[in-house]
Structure 1
């Protein structure tokens, strides 16, 4: 099933129509808003969206041509932050998702990770009527062992964050083999906490989005590579109070109401305190909704991009 049809000047690195199946709603809304702001200049601009493949730097050339003043490059799916941005500064502007810190290069700018279509179609439940107190559903990768062990009693593991990529993976395999419990709905009243055996093997996207839209607090631990994930954007759009690890120091997160913790051992007392103060919790929800509207929504991102492309 294909995503929404995008304008003809939105292409992939080969100059072909961009495949927007997963994030089609986000991109269609973004470019519709950007066209309104840019006017006739929009049609004169080619937007090249490059979805980085994990194996493309293993001796393989990147299927991406050089740019000019009429081309804008958008790099997505670069969780490892290895795309050679400096090789593509011939584009009018370069926007890239994942981990980028603002102001490191005058021609390079932050870009949203975006959300999947199901979360874009979901409608948020009024906060006071939400039935799920705390929600997480996802694969227990090595970066989420630190979250898992807050819920599961593992006497030989400290609660504090583990260090190092390879030790984390070794611990993940041991925990996955010897500790079979995957659901922890009883940690807090009305919580829905579940870990899956592999990526995309949990709730169907539509059900995931419905539960998220009906949740007060969303836990957003790291993905396979990055602390920044699509679930941050889905939770923001749906007005959840977000608890996350440290996020990049860019315009989308700097000063945001996202609660960032450096160590997941702080999670249980933090959530208990939040749930004990419903008025304060709802205030964070309202701040998150404002942040989405003013900084991270498609309209806000289009305004930010239009100003950059206008040279302001």
Structure 2
């Protein structure tokens, strides 16, 4: 017999205006359409439902649709999971709240003037493109903010940052850091899409591709120089090319890894960061943006992958430091990024927004 869970709120997966929204039973492990990050956010929304604090809301979960929604109003809450252009959605002033992964403010993450390189030049160009693309949304948002202020209508909702979480992370018993098989591990793509021969990207590359190529080259050199350390390296076709067997292998190897390498993707913030954190890995990353769930995180940030051999050797030869960072990583996940904590954060922000509107039921019977 199929048990249908009663939901206090309605959840929809929304791709674009060309497709109708798909009702999503957040307790269903297989949503009606393929949609990344539903494993993590399904549990976040389950935490919201379990709290029984809010009800009567419509949650639209979209990947990167920032122009239109199926409906608007004070009962509409939007989650934008995959917009790597850091844009403010055009409808922000028409809904009760907007929560967005990777946020609305980008970072340069390097110094092209003091450290000139092709990678840093392309990073600068990408950063400037993001700023230009984001101008219309920024102007629209602040215009409505100013108009509401002049007309005495009060503030419009902020756009709240939330972590990416994980794509498909198995719940595995946490393994002691000293007993893990792999000293360091990276599995991922270098080039996740093929560009036209006429595209500049096919000739010069992208910040993601150049950064990862450099990291892999340095890692291979480290492996040859230090055969006593166990290095696991797996280059895949792309994020969306993982099979269920790949996911199981990825999770199991991650749990058996001491140091997780977290190179940038299209943006600096990636799911690998949170997957490694959840499993208690020591994390070595590139630059990270300022976010409430990242500020002060127990990670090692590097400016150049050339620093990697020294960092790896010093970490692996310091068991006490490794153990400390292992526990700090686990604690940070539990205290800042876990599904229950993010659910509580969302509830707190919604209650704050709803305090101005008595039409929404905050404490259902």
TM-score for the superposition, normalised by structure 2: 0.66
Match in the other structure for 2:217: 149
| Cα distance in structure 2, aligned partners of 1:256 and 1:278 | 20
CA positional deviation for 1:282 = 0.9
Q: Aligned to 2:170, what secondary structure does the other structure show? A: helix
Structure 1 residue 24 corresponds to structure 2 residue 24 = no
Match in the other structure for 2:310: 269
Q: Aligned to 1:133, what secondary structure does the other structure show? A: strand
Match in the other structure for 2:300: 259
Encode CA deviations 1:174-211: one digit per residue, 9 max, x unaligned.
Answer: xxxxxxxxx97966612212334555567811101100
Structure 1 residue 88 corresponds to structure 2 residue 85 = no
| Cα distance in structure 1, aligned partners of 2:252 and 2:293 | 24
CA gap of 1:307–1:20, structure 2 versus 1, over 3 A, is: farther
| Cα distance in structure 2, aligned partners of 1:22 and 1:278 | 36
Choose from 170, 181, 188 the match for 1:120: 170
| Cα distance in structure 2, aligned partners of 1:135 and 1:152 | 12
Gaps of 5+ in 1: 154-182
| Cα distance in structure 2, aligned partners of 1:278 and 1:263 | 24
Match in the other structure for 2:358: none
C-alpha contact (below 8 Å) 2:68/2:91 kept by paired residues: no
Encode CA deviations 1:42-93: one digit per residue, 9 max, x unaligned.
Answer: x31111111127xxx9xxxx452453221111001112324x4243232111
TM-score for the superposition, normalised by structure 1: 0.76
CA gap of 1:264–1:35, structure 2 versus 1, over 3 A, is: same
CA gap of 1:187–1:78, structure 2 versus 1, over 3 A, is: farther
Residues 196-211 of structure 1: pairs in structure 2 closer than 5 A: 196=236, 199=239, 204-211=246-253
Match in the other structure for 1:68: 73
| Cα distance in structure 2, aligned partners of 1:15 and 1:85 | 18
C-alpha contact (below 8 Å) 2:285/2:300 kept by paired residues: yes
CA gap of 1:264–1:255, structure 2 versus 1, over 3 A, is: same
Match in the other structure for 2:47: 33
Moved more, 15-24 or 86-95: 15-24
CA positional deviation for 1:22 = 4.1
C-alpha contact (below 8 Å) 1:185/1:191 kept by paired residues: no
Encode CA deviations 1:100-150: one digit per residue, 9 max, x unaligned.
Answer: 459x98511111212122x13333322232111111111123131221231
C-alpha contact (below 8 Å) 2:13/2:62 kept by paired residues: yes
C-alpha contact (below 8 Å) 1:101/1:110 kept by paired residues: no
C-alpha contact (below 8 Å) 1:138/1:195 kept by paired residues: yes
| Cα distance in structure 1, aligned partners of 2:270 and 2:6 | 24
Structure 1 residue 190 corresponds to structure 2 residue 240 = no
CA gap of 1:120–1:69, structure 2 versus 1, over 3 A, is: farther
Choose from 27, 41, 60 the match for 1:48: 60
Gaps of 5+ in 2: 15-19, 25-32, 107-137, 142-156, 192-208, 354-365
Choose from 198, 221, 229 the match for 2:263: 221
| Cα distance in structure 2, aligned partners of 1:207 and 1:116 | 14
Q: Aligned to 2:315, what secondary structure does the other structure show? A: helix
- The alignment yields a C-alpha RMSD, in angstroms, of 3.0
Match in the other structure for 1:163: none
Q: Aligned to 2:216, what secondary structure does the other structure show? A: helix
CA gap of 1:12–1:275, structure 2 versus 1, over 3 A, is: same
Match in the other structure for 1:78: 83
Give the paired residue count.
267
| Cα distance in structure 1, aligned partners of 2:225 and 2:234 | 8
